Every structure is written in C-alpha cells, then in structure tokens.
Amino acid sequence: MARNVAKAGFPLTVYNRSRSKADALAAEVGCAVAETPRAAAEAADVLISIVSDVPDVEQVYLTPGTGIVEAARAGLVCVDMGTVGPDCARRTAEAVAAKGAAFVDAPVSGGTVGAQQGTLSIMAGGTKDAFDRCVPVFEAMGKKIVHCGDVGQGQITKLANQIVVALNLEATCEGVLFALKSGANIDAVLDAVGAGAAGSWAWTNLGPKVAKHDFAPGFKVEHQIKDLRLALAAAESVGLELPGTRLVLGQFEEVLKRNPALAEQGTQALITALE
C-alpha cells in the first residue's frame, strides 16, 4: 500500500516496528524513514496506520513520547486502515481530536493481491471533510472507495464484510471437501460451480488452494479469528446473535487447537478442521 502511495507521487515518510521492512521500501521508492510513529506524524498531512489488532493501534497512537497523538495537531488527518472494531476507532478518534486533528477509520478488503495491485475496497468512517482530504491518497491504494458515515462506520462495514467472507469460506471448504471425498473430478467441480449461482470470490480464489492444501497466506488464520471475535462482540452490543459466524469462528479455533502452527497460514486452512 505504501509503495502504491509513493508511486502515485506523494512525498512519503514511513515507520515500521521492524525497521528492516521500512529500509527496504525506502531503498526501492526513495521515501524517508521515521524513527517513531510520532516522527512520521510530524512529517505528514495525512497519517496512515495499519497494524494488526487493538493493542497495536493503542501502541502506535498512545505511547508517551513516541505515539502519533504526541504530534497530532490541527490540519492533520489520521487514518487507521486496520480491522480493529468501532470502539477502538472511536477511542482513537477522541484522542487525536483532543489535539485538534481529524480521524478516519478506513479498513480495507482485497487481501495481499489487492494491496499489491492497488485494487482494494476501502470503507471509510469520519467527517465528509476529513474523508474528502484523504480520497486522493485512497485512490492510490484502492478502486472502490466508500464513505460509510461517521467514525466507526468503516469498521462496522468491514466487520459485515468479514462475516460474509468467513461464511463463504466455510461453504467453499465444505463443497470442496464433499467433492473430494465423493471421488469427483475436482477441477471440473471448481469450474462448473464457479460459473453458477454458488460462485463467489472465495470459491474462485481459494477453492483451488483448499483442494491442494495450499495454505500460503493471503489473509492469515490468526487475523480472521481476531476479526470474527470483533464481529461477534459488536453484534452482541446491538443485541444480535450471529450463529453462522460463531460456528465458523469455532471451526477456526479448532484449526489452531489441532495445529497451532497454522495461525500464520492462509484462512483456507479452515479445511483442516472439517477434515
């Protein structure tokens, strides 16, 4: 994502907790490397963070001395593009607003390929003014950019996405496993089913990997578990029970119970729980 922002011509300063990754990008695209999140924010008009989970957001924004909030000021827009739930987004927005900065939560969908190709779907929550300021940068990273409403609405939209993604993957794994155990020509099954009413992104992109036990990560099991837990917590806060989502979360937890090493493998490893 940062590479595509640089290629679009934006002056770029980057920070990464693993410094070697930032240095590698700097060598490739000529961007500056900051020593801390605060230093990255000091150099920015638009500050983008994308880290794995709620504690990581709190670390990069709120750590005394080095956090982004230390450099928050009027005129700065902070954008968090991870999947961390609406509560985290709103708390972070309050922290930066206290220093005069704006905040947009803008999680993404599209996986590693979408990030590399600049074709992500970006679902954003925040004021229209803050969103509009970010659109030119978003256009370097995504092809579908939607303003979903106030802060937190981007996260709610992303959690809806993750619910559907997880259930589609469950269906894909069950269908592929049924075909394999029944002795079907799996290539024919993948081709025929993908062209009909059961076709989906999961079937087309992950179905062949499920069939081959190719678990190379595009989106990791541990991150899917985190997202589904966030979705269930958000659903409970509005009085909803999501039985399908809870079932798939249980399947993913079974994957790790049987083989903890699969945490960093792709979500298509869900097939191992069904097997």
Give the mean model confidence (pLDDT) for residues 209-213.
98
- What is the percentage of the chain residues whose pLDDT exceeds 70? 100
Tell me, yes or no, if 158 is annotated catalytic. yes
pLDDT tens profile 215-253: 999 999 999 999 999 999 999 999 999 999 999 999 999
Q: Is the pLDDT of residue 42 over 90?
A: yes
2-149 and 157-274 have identical folds: no
Cα dihedral sign, 111-115-119-124: positive
Which of these CATH numbers, 3.30.70.1400, 3.40.50.620, 3.30.200.20, 3.40.50.720, describes 2-149? Answer: 3.40.50.720
Tell me what pLDDT residue 204 has: 97
Mean pLDDT of the chain: 97
- For the domain spanning 157-274, the CATH number is 1.10.1040.10
Whole-number Å distance between alpha carbons of 163 and 134: 27
The upper half-sphere exposure of residue 125, i.e. CA atoms within 13 Å in the direction of its Cβ, equals 24
Catalytic residue among 158, 209, 220, 226: 158
Give the mean model confidence (pLDDT) for residues 92-101.
98
pTM value surpassing 0.85: yes
pLDDT tens profile 101-157: 999 999 999 988 899 999 999 999 999 999 999 999 999 999 999 999 999 999 999
Q: Which residue has the tokens 């493998």?
A: 265
Give the mean model confidence (pLDDT) for residues 173-200.
98
Give the mean model confidence (pLDDT) for residues 178-192.
98
pLDDT tens profile 48-78: 999 999 999 999 999 999 999 999 999 999 9
Domain ranges across the chain: 2-149, 157-274
